[in-house]
Chain A
Amino acid sequence: MFKIEKRPIPSAKWNWGAPIVAVLLTMVFGGALFAVLGVNPFLALEKIFYEPLLGEYAFYYRPQLLVKAAPLILIAIGLSLGFRAGIWNIGAEGQYIIGALCGAGLALALYPMELFILLPLMVIAGAIGGALWGLIPAFLKVRFGTNEILVSLMLVYVAEQLLASMALGLMKNPEGMGFPGSRNLQQYPSAHNAEIISGTGMHWGVVAALIAVIFAYIVLSRHMFGFSLRMSGMAPRAAKFAGVNPTRMVLICMGISGALAGMAGLFEIAGPAGQVSIDFNVGYGFTAIIVAFLGRLNPVGILLAGILMALTYIGGEITQSQMGLPLAAIQVFQGMLLFFLLAMDLLTNYRFRPTAKEAA
C-alpha cells in the first residue's frame, strides 16, 4: 500500500511536469474515446496536434491558432489573477459578451463616421463594459456577502439574453433585410479590428494578449500588488494581517478580469466575428477557465496553454470536417484535460510513500 503525504515544499519539478503528464493522459484516454466513436485515434490525434502546426495546410491553420488563442489567453490572464486571490469569477463569458456589445454599440452608433481613434475607443468601451459587468458580482460580494461564483454565472445567462435582444432589436442592421444580426464591422474600416500583418491572424487582440501576459508576469513576480494577491489566495487571514484590504482585492480582481474579458469580446466582434449575432460567443469565457488552470495560473503557462487549447479547437474542426468526429468530442477532450490536470496536481503538493509494514 501507498500513503499520500504532504510535501514540505511543493515540487517545482511536478509543478511543470503535471500539465505535461495530464496532456499525455488526455491523449491516451481521448484517443480511446475517438476509437469508441469509430475514428482512428492516431490519425485524429495527428490531425489535432500536428496538422495545424506543421501539416501540409499549416499556412492556413497557423493564423487561426493566434485568432483562437488570443481571446483565451486574454481572458485566462484576468481569471488567473482572481483565482490566485481566491476570487472565483466564472462569468467571463458574460463579461465577454457585454464588452463586445459596448464596443460594437459605440461603433454602430457612430456609423458611418470614419474616425481614426474609433477602434481604440471601442476597446476602451469594451473594457469598461466588461469591467462593470464583472463588478456587479464583486460589489454584491463585498456589500452583501453573496457568492461571486453563482452571481457571475447567472449574469452569463442574463448577458446572453441581452445579446439576443440587441442582435434582434436595437443593434439589428437596418439594411439587413430583416435578417438578425448587426452591420458587419469588418466593412466599417474605422471600427474593423483587421489583421496587422495580412495573412498571419495577428490582430490587435493578439497584441493585447501578449501585453497582458508580460504585464501579469511582472506584476505577479515583482510588485506588491501581485504579492498581496498571492497571499490573499494562500492564506486570507495572513493577507489581512499583512494589511491587504480584502474588499479592494475583490473589486480590483473582478474589475481587471472583467475588463480583459470585455476587451477579448470586443476584439472578436470587431474582427473575426464581425457582427453582433445571437451566437457570436462560442464559450471562450468557459474554456479560458481550463486554460487558466492548465497554465498553472502562471502567465507564461497560460500563454502555452492558450495555444494548446486553440490547437484542440482547430484540430476539432479539422477532424470534424475530414473524419466526421463530432465537435462535442473535442469538448469532452478538453474537459478530460482539466480532470487529469487537477488529479495530477496531487503530485506537486503531495508524494506517495510506501506505508511501513503493519505490525503483525
Chain B
Amino acid sequence: MGTPLLTLSGLTKAYPGVVANDDVSFDIQPGEVHALLGENGAGKSTLVKLIYGLVSPDSGKMALNGMPYAPANPNAARASGVAMVFQHFSLFDALSVAENVALGMDNSPPQGELSTKIRTVSDAYGLPLDPHRTVGDLSAGERQRVEIIRCLLQDPQLLIMDEPTSVLTPQEVEILFKTLRKLSAEGTAILYISHKLEEIRSLCDNATILRLGKKVATCIPAQKTAAELAEMMVGTSLKPPKRAAEVSSEVALHVSGLNLPPAQAFGTSLRDISLTLHKGEVLGIGGVAGNGQDELLAALSGERLCAADQVKLDGKPVGNLGPTARRHLGLLAAPEERLGHAAVPDMSLTENALLTGVTRQALAKGGWINWAAAKGYAERIIHQFDVRTPGPHVAARALSGGNLQKFVIGREVLQAPHVLVVNQPTWGVDASAAAAIRQALLDLATQGSAIICISQDLDELMEISDRFAALNEGHLTHARPAAGLTIEEIGLMMGGAHGMEAAHV
C-alpha cells in the first residue's frame, strides 16, 4: 500500500461529562470503502465532525495524502477534497434541488450551467434528479441523492456517509451500493458510518469499530460474522427479545378508510388507511421516513381528529375524541421525537410523568394536581425501566437519548394500555436500552395489550412483529404475517425504489 489518503492518529475530543473520542487512530486508503462501526453514542458522529472540520480535536493529528490536515471549518475540508453526506439537517426544504446543491459548493457555477451538470452527474451515477424540483417535495431517498450529487460535483477524494441507508428501501440500498462501488472503483475513498452489520459486510473493505469513544478493532468485515461484529460493537452479546406469541382473535383497534390532509407544509397526507389489530398482537409498520409515520401516530393518538367511525377502539368509535379521552379509554401512544413531542425538554421527569399519566393514573382531582402522586409515578417509571438519572426532579433534556426513551416508553407501558402505538421506539438509543425497550413491548403484548410499532428499522420490526405492513406515500399496505417475509418482499411493500423511473442503471 502507498501513502494512505487519510491518517488519523490519537484523535481525542471531550465534551462536558463525556469523552466522545479517546485516542482514535486508523488509516483510509485511496479508493477504499472503510466502515466506521459503532452503536449510538460510541463517538462516530464526533469523529466525522472532526474530519469534516465542524469541531476541532482536543489533541491528536490528521494527515491527508501525507500532509498535515486540520480543517478549520467545513469549507476548508471541502477545499481539501473531503465531502460529507449528512444523516439529518442539511437540506433546505423550500429551495430547489439546484439551489441546495449550490449552497453545498464553494464556487458554484451559474444556475443554468449547474442544472445541466446535476443532470449529467446524476445520470452517470444512476441517481436521477430534477434540478428544478423543490426539495421539500422529494422522498427521503431522493433527498439523499441531492446530498450525494452535491458532494460528487466537487470530485471529492473522500466521501463521508453518515448512516445513509436508514432512509432507504432495500431496493434503494442496492442502487446506492452500486453507486458507491462505482465511485470506489474510480478511486474515491468512502468512509461509511453505520450500525447495520450485513450492509457493512457486503460493502466495506475494512471496518474500524468504536465503542464508548475508543477504537476497539480494525478488521476486514467480510471475514467476520455479523455476530462477531455485533459483539465487538456492543461489548457483550445481546440476547434477542423473547415472547410467548399468543394473538387473540378479539379486535382491539380497527381503522377504516382514514384520510387526513397534511398538517403542515411538506407534510404527507394519509390516504385510505385501514388496519385491524388484535389483542396481544404486535403489528410492525415499516416505511422510509416521511411517508406518513408522524401523521399516522397523530391520527391514532388523537392529536388529529377524524370521523368517529374511522377509528374504533374495542368496538367503540373514538375518531372524534382528543388524546385525553382516548387515553381514558386505553389508547396510548409514544411519538418519535422525544424532546418536544413525547416529553417537554425543560420540564422535570415528574412533570413529564404527569403529561400523559394524569388521566389513567389519577394524578389530579378536579384539575388539582397531586404532585406527590406524580412524583411517585415518575419514580416508579425510573425504577421499573432502569432510567439512569439522579432523580425525578431532573429536566427531561438532561437525560441521554436511551434513558429518556426508556422513560417515555415506560410511562405508557405502566399505564396498562389496551392499545399502544409507538413510533421509532429505539431511534438513536444504545443497544442495551433498545433491547430493554423491545422486551418491554413484547411483555406488554403477552399481557394482552395490542401494539403498533412504527419503525424504520426493519431488523427491529422483524424481531418483534407478528404481522408487518408498510407505509408508502401515505398509503398503508395490507398487513402480512412477519414470519417468512423476505427482504425483497418487504422492500416492494415499502415502495421499491422511489422515483427511479428515469434510472439508466
Kindly report which residue of chain A lies nearest to residue B338, judged by CB atoms.
A238
Q: Are A10 and B346 touching (Cβ within 8 A)?
A: yes
Kindly report which residue of chain B lies nearest to residue A226, judged by CB atoms.
B369
Q: Are A241 and B303 touching (Cβ within 8 A)?
A: yes
B476 part of interface (Cβ distance < 8 Å): no
Q: Are A240 and B60 touching (Cβ within 8 A)?
A: no
Asked, given contacts A227-B369, A231-B355, A242-B355, whether A9 binds B395 with beta carbons under 8 Å apart, the answer is: yes
Asked, given contacts A243-B323, A243-B324, A359-B70, whether A238 binds B60 with beta carbons under 8 Å apart, the answer is: no
B185 part of interface (Cβ distance < 8 Å): no
Q: Are B344 and A231 touching (Cβ within 8 A)?
A: yes
Within the complex, what minimum Cβ distance (angstroms) separates A14 from chain B? 14
Q: Are A238 and B395 touching (Cβ within 8 A)?
A: no
Within the complex, what minimum Cβ distance (angstroms) separates A349 from chain B? 8
B489 part of interface (Cβ distance < 8 Å): no
Kindly report which residue of chain B lies nearest to residue A242, judged by CB atoms.
B355
Q: Are B394 and A9 touching (Cβ within 8 A)?
A: yes
Bitwise interface map of B from 54 to 70 toward A, beta carbon under 8 Å scored 1, else 0: 00111110000000001
Contact of A225 among B301, B303, B323, B367 (CB under 8 A): B367
Q: Are B344 and A238 touching (Cβ within 8 A)?
A: yes
B500 part of interface (Cβ distance < 8 Å): no
B136 part of interface (Cβ distance < 8 Å): no
Contact of A238 among B70, B341, B368 (CB under 8 A): B341
Q: Are A242 and B323 touching (Cβ within 8 A)?
A: yes
Q: Are A243 and B340 touching (Cβ within 8 A)?
A: no
Q: Are A224 and B367 touching (Cβ within 8 A)?
A: yes
Q: Are B369 and A223 touching (Cβ within 8 A)?
A: yes
Indicate the size class of the contact surface on chain B: 35 or more
Q: Are B341 and A224 touching (Cβ within 8 A)?
A: no
Contact of B340 among A222, A223, A238, A245 (CB under 8 A): A238
CA of A84 to CA of B472, assembled, Å: 39
B residues adjacent to A (C-beta < 8 A):
14, 16, 56-60, 70, 301-303, 322-324, 327, 333, 335, 337, 339-347, 351, 354-356, 358-359, 364, 367-369, 371, 394-395, 397-398
A residues adjacent to B (C-beta < 8 A):
5, 8-10, 222-225, 227, 230-231, 234-235, 237-243, 245, 353, 356, 358-359
Kindly list 16 other residue pairs between chains A and B, CB separation below 8 angstroms, not including A235-B339, A241-B356, A243-B322.
A8-B397, A9-B395, A223-B369, A234-B345, A234-B346, A235-B340, A237-B340, A241-B323, A241-B333, A241-B335, A241-B341, A241-B355, A242-B324, A242-B355, A243-B302, A359-B60
Nearest 10 interchain pairs by C-beta: A243-B324, A8-B398, A243-B323, A235-B344, A237-B341, A235-B340, A224-B367, A9-B395, A242-B355, A238-B344
25 A-B pairs within 8 Å (CB atoms) are namely: A8-B398, A9-B398, A223-B367, A224-B358, A224-B364, A227-B351, A227-B354, A227-B369, A231-B344, A235-B343, A235-B345, A237-B337, A237-B341, A238-B343, A238-B355, A239-B344, A241-B301, A241-B323, A241-B356, A242-B323, A242-B356, A243-B324, A245-B322, A359-B57, A359-B70
